[in-house]
Amino acid sequence: MDLGLGGARAIVTGASRGIGLACAQALAAEGARVALVARSADDLETAAATVGSETLAIVADTTDDAAVRAMVDRVVEAWGGVDVLVNAAARPAGGSPVPKLTELTDDAVHSEFDTKVMGYLRTARAVAPSMIAQGAGRIVNISGLNARRTGSIAGTIRNVAVAALTANLADELGPHGINATCVHPGITDTERTPGMLADIAAQRGISEAQARESLESTTSLRRVITAAEVADVVTFLASPRAVAVTGDSLGAGGGQPGVVHY
């Protein structure tokens, strides 16, 4: 199926590694031009070399509104507009111990919220004028399955908030031809996985093989989904083919056993 992304102008934040980089690669494979955005110039240069299409590598911190606006201005100046925004700039969940309520600091929650929720808001706000002017666009926000379970106060708050932000964007921007969707990955196989497995094994006093088996048992597929597999879902949602889907949050973690969402 041709997803109709040839020549599309895409911005992917958090694009130097993990799910963000996988999304940049998947969009490029469909013929899109991709602006990779992250905080480290060296990491961006390495990442851009793996994308293999017309790219821009732009250093920007999404907690800085001026930097976000300057980044979007650069893309619009270079390519004339923005067709796709994939928000993936956030600290991945998993691995490190989750603090108890009495140990959870205000700063820890503020940091999570500012990077993920406000960061996504800043980028969506910055690209909206370009998308509105052309009467079309796609915004895909990478959130996480912590939105659908307890166990991490900060993780649940930030991911539920991303879903709420997405629904609001969909309603406001829909009349202008702009779709907004939210993708909830679960534990995802990335370059962080070996370190995460080592942390889990150390915390529980088990082997790394047992740690992986434990993670796999939490999915309906009984395996861990890869970053590339999440990126396939994101790329479809970023395409004209996904026009019927907006405002919703889709799980992309291999399924949650025993849970019904309707």
- The tens digit of pLDDT for each residue in 219-257 reads 999 999 999 999 999 999 999 999 999 999 999 999 999
Tell me the pLDDT tens digit for each residue of 124-158: 999 999 999 999 999 999 999 999 988 889 999 99
**Band of the pLDDT at 95, cuts 50, 70, 90?**
low
The tokens describing 203, both together, are 């915390």
Supply the pLDDT for residue 199.
87
Q: What is the mean pLDDT of the chain?
A: 94
User: What are the b/e assignments for 143-164, b being 16+ CB within 10 Å?
Assistant: bbbbbbeeebbbbbbbbbbbbe
The residues with which 113 forms a beta bridge, in sequence order, are none
Supply the pLDDT for residue 74.
98
Check whether 29 has a pLDDT greater than 70. yes
- Contacts for 129 with CB less than 8 Å, ≥ 6 apart: none
CB 50 within 8 A of CB 28: no
Supply the pLDDT for residue 94.
58
Among 61-70, 152-161, 174-183, which stretch is predicted with the lowest mean pLDDT? 152-161
The helix/strand/coil state of 225 is strand
The helix/strand/coil state of 166 is helix
d(CA 82, CA 140): 13
Instruction: Give CA separation, 178 vs 62, 159, 241, 242, in Å.
Output: 22, 22, 13, 11
Architecture of domain 9-191+226-248: 3-Layer(aba) Sandwich (3.40)
The tokens describing 243, both together, are 């026009």
Per domain, the residue ranges of the chain are: 9-191+226-248
Among 63-77, 191-205, 229-243, which stretch is predicted with the lowest mean pLDDT? 191-205
Check whether 67 has a pLDDT greater than 60. yes
- Contacts for 147 with CB less than 8 Å, ≥ 6 apart: 156, 159, 160, 162, 163, 184, 249
